[in-house]
Amino acid sequence: LDSFVNQQHLNFKQSVPYTHAVIDNLVNPKLMTLIHHEIKVSMNSTLKETDLFKVYQTSDLANFNIHETPQLFHLLSLRDALYSEEFRELMQRITQCDTLTDQTDCSVNAYVNGSHLLCHDDVIGTRCVSYI
pTM of the predicted protein model: 0.90
The answer to whether position 113 is within a domain reads: no
CA dist 78 and 1 (Å) reads 21
Q: Which domain holds residue 10?
A: 2-43+64-105
Q: How confident is the model at residue 130 (pLDDT cuts 50, 70, 90)?
A: confident
- In tens, the pLDDT along 64-110 reads 999 999 999 999 999 999 999 999 999 999 999 999 999 999 999 99
CA dist 6 and 8 (Å) reads 5
Angle, CA 97 vertex, CA 66 and CA 93 arms, to 5°: 80
The answer to whether position 35 is within a domain reads: yes
Return all residues near 88 (Cβ < 8 A) that are at least 6 apart: 100, 101, 102
Number of structural domains (the chain) is 1
The answer to whether position 89 is within a domain reads: yes
Q: How confident is the model at residue 129 (pLDDT cuts 50, 70, 90)?
A: confident
The answer to whether position 123 is within a domain reads: no
